[in-house]
Chains A and B, each alone.
Chain A
């Protein structure tokens, strides 16, 4: 990878709040013109990481380089080149759509004429025709989110940070939103997006899974699921509850999650197999069919967080 091909590089990035390690020695490399995802539950350090990368929080330790700038030292220079969409709607609810965009354009130091052209462009691109004079506070969740994205890209930033951008919108708005993101990457923008939705994570070019402040896995969605080949099984049975109880006693079974009429089972390939699972079910006199199934990102997530837990137990 050529050096100028990299948008973000972090080594040993850590942030401690008192005794809490919100982010713990995260290593990160994000290539340009990609959608890079942070996947993790609430409190896993996604927001804290993003805030450190755009210079809003000072890291406790580690080195961060964003667009070739040292962060947090050169954060002020970086601010002209990034767009940041916060988790909660952070535009002014008592300003209209156009007024919000006008303010952001001016704050980004865009000349008035250029700003006016760009705002008209964004208004039509983000479907705000006829709504330009509506107060931002009176809009729906999906509209607010589109407006926030329009505001974040008004100065055509090279790098866009999106902190759980779709947590408050319906599925259709989410799909539209991702369309917009890919349009942006096609135009050369790098996007770092955090999410706790698996389907969104699957759309990313590359992905980092965060759990309790640690980066537990990273790679493209394909690579991550391929690593789990042979470890995911589907158990079809009428007695899911009993089957689940039986399987929880089998060594090497990491999780058994009920999905509709079946159980999705994740195993540790070294300690369990399809046969051992079948045997355990037969021993309980349960009528069940076991078959391999292709792993999903959710399985990756469960496996990665389980690994992390096991490591922690080994430490103590």
Chain B
């Protein structure tokens, strides 16, 4: 390894990057876009689903029940209906996502402890389905308070008035999505951009013919690889800062642990992704192929890392697969540091896993890169 040559590769990369407008736009654009999209538009706590209610009972109790459900804000009544058949028709035509049926014998069913209300849900959208669960939590047939105190043991009158389990959300008491999402988003954005930038880095030079010139010079594989990784590493840190800044300003995302720990975690993920990108780059035959291979990394990372779905809920095989993805370990680190205020060394198994991943990938990339054409 020769410092002058390494520096030459570094300078070259920076100069090329400076003239690459599209990449520059991606560096800044993708974090802002994703943050705003995930923070504002994509909200898993659904509100304002179009709904229709067929209140066949028409009593004061049923009307009260309808008011309670509307008060949750989950549904917005958009149409009138008389019968369940009308509701099903509207559901099929996509006019409503939720239909509520209150039968003629609503009060008698309540009294008998039978199921008193039916909620019809557009099951083609899983998120809507889970929203219906929110509705089902609305206490049904809440009797007047005096009634309740008089006969506290009358089971049939208030079958679901109180859920036996109460949920207390630590670290995110208001259940604001952005707080959960922003730390993970750092990981997603870094995975997306870092792997992509480096995966095309070497192939591009091969495609443009630069590689044949480079390998005929005394520059070594390690100088070439490290000289390519470092500029993008800096870009990754800039992206991290941008997301942290916007997350704090727009969504008041807390950083409960130390800022240094946040950056250590980010740097490890950046290096892991860059090394993986380089390895892809040494294998791919064209830039297009490199992009395709990037997707094979990117998709499991998004789906299995715990960003989208809870890690513990996944089948064992998926969990094993997730353990070899750097994003999984990063998410544990970053959530620990930013949301739970943990020190990064308290989370040493994930720290170690990331380090091992970086070493392995970088070694493979340097070994795989031959200064030969055959």
- A: residues with CB less than 8 A from B are 51, 54-58, 72, 75-76, 79-80, 82, 84, 86, 88-95, 99, 102-104, 106-109, 111-112, 135, 151
Task: Given the known inter-chain contacts A56-B372, A109-B4, please indicate yes or no for A92 contacting B216, CB distance below 8 A.
Answer: no
Which residue of B has the minimal Cβ distance to A92? B210
* Given A91-B210, A92-B16: 17 more A-B contacts, CB < 8 Å: A54-B216, A56-B212, A56-B215, A58-B374, A79-B217, A80-B218, A84-B216, A90-B208, A90-B209, A90-B212, A93-B208, A99-B12, A106-B5, A106-B8, A107-B218, A108-B217, A151-B213
**Residue in B19, B213, B371, B374 whose CB lies within 8 Å of A86:** B213
The verdict on B150 contacting chain A, using a C-beta distance below 8 Å, is no
Give the shortest distance, in Å, between B20 (CB) and chain A (any CB): 7
Pairwise interchain contact A57-B372, C-beta atoms closer than 8 A: yes
The answer to whether A91 touches B374, judged by C-beta atoms less than 8 angstroms apart, is no
B308 at the interface (CB under 8 A from A): no
A88 touches B2 (CB 8 A): no
Tell me whether B316 is interfacial, beta carbon within 8 Å. no
Pick the most buried of A56, A79, A91, A107: most chain B CB atoms within 10 A of its CB: A107
Counting chain A CB atoms within 10 Å of each CB, which of B2, B5, B9, B15 scores highest?
Answer: B15
Neighbouring A residues of B374 by C-beta, 8 Å: 57-58
In angstroms, Cα B216 to Cα A76, docked, is: 9
Which of chain B's residues have a CB closer than 8 A to the CB of A106?
A: 4-5, 7-8, 11
- Residue pair B372, A58 in contact (C-beta under 8 Å): yes
State A102–B8 Cα separation when bound (angstroms).
8
Give B contacts to A, CB under 8 Å. Answer: 2, 4-5, 7-9, 11-12, 15-16, 19-20, 208-219, 371-374
A54's closest neighbor in chain B, by CB?
B216
Partner of A109, one of B9, B214, B218: B218
CA distance A132 to B208 in the complex (A): 22
Q: Is the CB of A109 within 8 A of B2?
A: yes
Q: B15 to A86, Cβ gap below 8 A?
A: no
How far does the alpha carbon of A93 sit from the alpha carbon of B371 in the complex, in Å? 22
Minimum Cβ distance to chain A for residue B357 (Å): 30
Give the complex CA separation of A108 and B335 in angstroms: 47
3 pairs of A and B residues whose beta carbons are closest in the complex:
A106-B8, A90-B213, A84-B216
A72 to B216: give the CA distance in the assembly, Å. 12
CA distance A76 to B220 in the complex (A): 9
| Chain B hits for A104, CB < 8 A | 217
**B19 touching A51, Cβ below 8 Å:** no
B366 to chain A, nearest CB (A): 15
Contacts of A82 in B (CB 8 A): 216
Given A86-B209, A90-B210, A92-B16: A107 in contact with B217 (beta carbons within 8 A): yes
A79 touching B216 by the CB < 8 A rule?
Answer: yes
Give the Cβ gap from B205 to chain A, nearest Cβ, in Å.
9
**B209 and A89: CB pair below 8 A?**
yes
Contacts A107-B5, A107-B8; is A99 near B216 (CB within 8 Å)? no
Q: Is the pair A95, B212 in contact by a Cβ cutoff of 8 Å?
A: no
Q: List 30 A-B contacts (CB under 8 A).
A: A54-B216, A55-B372, A56-B212, A56-B216, A56-B372, A56-B373, A57-B373, A58-B374, A72-B372, A76-B371, A79-B217, A86-B213, A86-B216, A88-B209, A90-B209, A90-B212, A91-B210, A92-B16, A92-B208, A95-B12, A95-B16, A103-B12, A107-B8, A107-B9, A107-B214, A108-B218, A109-B5, A109-B218, A111-B4, A151-B213
Rounded to whole angstroms, the CA-CA distance of A93 and B209 in the bound complex is 11
* Chain A residues within 8 Å of B20, by CB: 94
Is there an interface contact between B5 and A86, defined as CB atoms closer than 8 Å? no
* Nearest neighbor of B219 in chain A, beta-carbon distance: A107
Q: Whole-angstrom distance between the alpha carbons of A88 and B218 in the complex?
A: 20
Which residue of B has the minimal Cβ distance to A161? B216
CA distance A84 to B217 in the complex (A): 8
Chain B: minimal CB distance from A53 (Å): 11
Known: A54-B216, A56-B372, A79-B217. A103 touches B8 (CB 8 A): yes
What separation, in Å, do the CA atoms of A111 and B5 have in the docked complex? 10
Rounded to whole angstroms, the CA-CA distance of A135 and B209 in the bound complex is 17
- The distance in angstroms between the C-alpha atoms of A142 and B19, with both chains bound, is 24
Chain B: minimal CB distance from A183 (Å): 22
Query: Least Cβ distance of A154 to chain B in Å?
Result: 10
> What is the bound-complex CA distance between A72 and B4, given in angstroms?
26
Chain B residues whose C-beta falls within 8 Å of the C-beta of A102 in the assembled complex = 8, 11
Identify the interface centre among B16, B215, B217, B373: most chain A CB within 10 Å of its CB. B217
Give Cα A95 to B11, complex, Å: 11
In the complex, A95→B8 CA distance in Å? 13
Q: How far is the CA of A88 from the CA of B206 in the complex (A)?
A: 12
Question: Known contacts being A95-B12, A106-B7, is A84 close to B372, with CB within 8 Å?
Answer: no
Q: Judging by beta carbons under 8 Å apart, are B218 and A76 in contact?
A: yes
Docked CA distance A55–B215 (Å):
9
In the bound complex, CA of A32 to CA of B4 (Å): 31
Cross-chain contact of B373 among A51, A76, A90, A109 (Cβ < 8 A): A51
